[in-house]
Structure 1
């Protein structure tokens, strides 16, 4: 095969849920994929099907992003395997545990900031430092709509995502033409077992667009920011308009069906 190689994307948390949807979108766009997981490196079925159908050049990499040495080691492993540095980094992996102002602790803050802020920063630094002459890698940080109108739930998580959101413009200025840095802020996207269908419908009806975001929405936004060469320093909310609302609690606590 002749011509330039496929662009290479590193996606943290790329085997499951929203990360898998991003991987599917990028595979269909012709990217080679370095997919990160903490330990399990088996693609979920829909992703496995697309990787096979597209004949995507991909490989899985295990790393615990709470380990301060893991980001550089991960980028080194990806570069060694593919023989080149990634053109795109999607910082999707995150820690999401519950605390509030009463239960917040130094340990909870450290855990969330280690995974949700320090790891993305160190991965970003490694990608930009390893880029070849004339290359302009794209960085897309996955944030959360709650950074615009926060409430008191999942406080350590929220603070870490607020810091990551604020880093976007700062890093975009710091890197200049060496890298583009942008972000995507989803709303409630994939329900867990804590939700039921009726609650999801009521939550969707609260949104300005009368809908929640779905994984494909997030994935297409990532692809757009990855491929538009004149965009940097931007945070794109993809959330049905949730960021324009002042919500009193996290989604999981809202619009529960009253019990008779």
Structure 2
């Protein structure tokens, strides 16, 4: 951890030790923010992320909190503010629960698990940021998913919880006005997992209206834009190659596989 610098605004990015959250945190650090990095359990953030923050002179600290645990959620924002000696002025609710193995028609346990992390925790963290927001205000950005518009038949617990978060975004934008702006970013497929077969991602890109998939930097740029868009609240910015404009019957991992139709 590095020492905080009060001249920099403070951003908390949940789920930021690696993958997309790490790209977002790195971009914010380069843009002049101090960073509170979060994971659900103790560990080390991605080495490239730490190197980027160090090169940018961005103060950073690491915080572990399981977002399905109400007590851990309640302590996260106050703990971050106390560590840095200043309020959180940007919250990026990036962490999410995604269980690919969940049944198409989820049971109560799956629904509660997804809603706790994907909707309730972001709501509670946003409220905590609002409670300590400085006079100049604060900003919340919720990471959504392009599927909230035209949902596939897969992973319904995840999808429905992200749709709920989209409504949380719109509702909190009004409830927390004027001191807190609340917006959302809805990415498409951005960082494929090992579940995708060789060539599948390129074929999926060809199915998008823009014939491309977003890069991590595209998502990070959208977050940075909304962080500074002082006259924008209650909006969702889709960064998905146009995926939200067409219906995909299944999750992308099942589509455009070798020898199969889309």
Q: TM-score, normalised by structure 1?
A: 0.95
- On the 8 A contact 1:88/1:226 being kept in 2, the answer is yes
Instruction: Work out whether 1:202 is the aligned partner of 2:203.
Output: yes
Secondary structure of the corresponding residue to residue 107 of structure 1:
helix
- On the 8 A contact 1:41/1:61 being kept in 2, the answer is no
Secondary structure of the corresponding residue to residue 177 of structure 1:
coil
Distance in 2 (alpha carbons) for counterparts of 1:155 and 1:26: 32
Distance in 1 (alpha carbons) for counterparts of 2:161 and 2:145: 10
Distance in 1 (alpha carbons) for counterparts of 2:42 and 2:203: 34
Post-superposition CA distance 1:28-51 (Å, at most 9, x none):
101000011111441212212201
Instruction: Work out whether 1:58 is the aligned partner of 2:49.
Output: no
2:175 paired residue number: 174
Distance in 2 (alpha carbons) for counterparts of 1:109 and 1:176: 30
Q: 1:122 to 1:159 in 2, by over 3 A?
A: same
Quote how far apart the aligned CAs of 1:136 are.
Answer: 1.2
Quote how far apart the aligned CAs of 1:105 are.
Answer: 0.8
1:130 paired residue number: 132
1:70 paired residue number: 72
Distance in 2 (alpha carbons) for counterparts of 1:64 and 1:101: 25
1:31 paired residue number: 33
Distance in 2 (alpha carbons) for counterparts of 1:38 and 1:4: 26
- On the 8 A contact 1:100/1:154 being kept in 2, the answer is yes
Post-superposition CA distance 1:189-245 (Å, at most 9, x none):
101011134100000000011110111111010000001101101000000000001
Q: Which stretch has the larger CA shift, 21-30 or 41-50?
A: 41-50
Secondary structure of the corresponding residue to residue 87 of structure 1:
strand
Distance in 2 (alpha carbons) for counterparts of 1:40 and 1:195: 29
Instruction: Work out whether 1:17 is the aligned partner of 2:22.
Output: no
Instruction: Work out whether 1:157 is the aligned partner of 2:178.
Output: no
Distance in 2 (alpha carbons) for counterparts of 1:19 and 1:244: 25
Q: 1:121 aligns with which of 120, 123, 126?
A: 123
- Give the ranges of 4+ consecutive aligned residues of structure 1 lying more than 6 Å apart after TM superposition: none
How large is the RMSD of aligned CA atoms in angstroms? Answer: 1.4
Distance in 2 (alpha carbons) for counterparts of 1:195 and 1:163: 28
Listed as ranges, the gaps of 5+ residues in structure 2 are: none
Distance in 1 (alpha carbons) for counterparts of 2:76 and 2:203: 41
2:192 paired residue number: 191
- On the 8 A contact 1:124/1:139 being kept in 2, the answer is yes
Quote how far apart the aligned CAs of 1:100 are.
Answer: 3.7
The alignment covers a number of residue pairs equal to: 255
1:227 paired residue number: 228
Q: TM-score, normalised by structure 2?
A: 0.94
Quote how far apart the aligned CAs of 1:123 are.
Answer: 0.3
- On the 8 A contact 2:6/2:86 being kept in 1, the answer is no
Secondary structure of the corresponding residue to residue 186 of structure 2:
strand
Quote how far apart the aligned CAs of 1:4 are.
Answer: 6.5
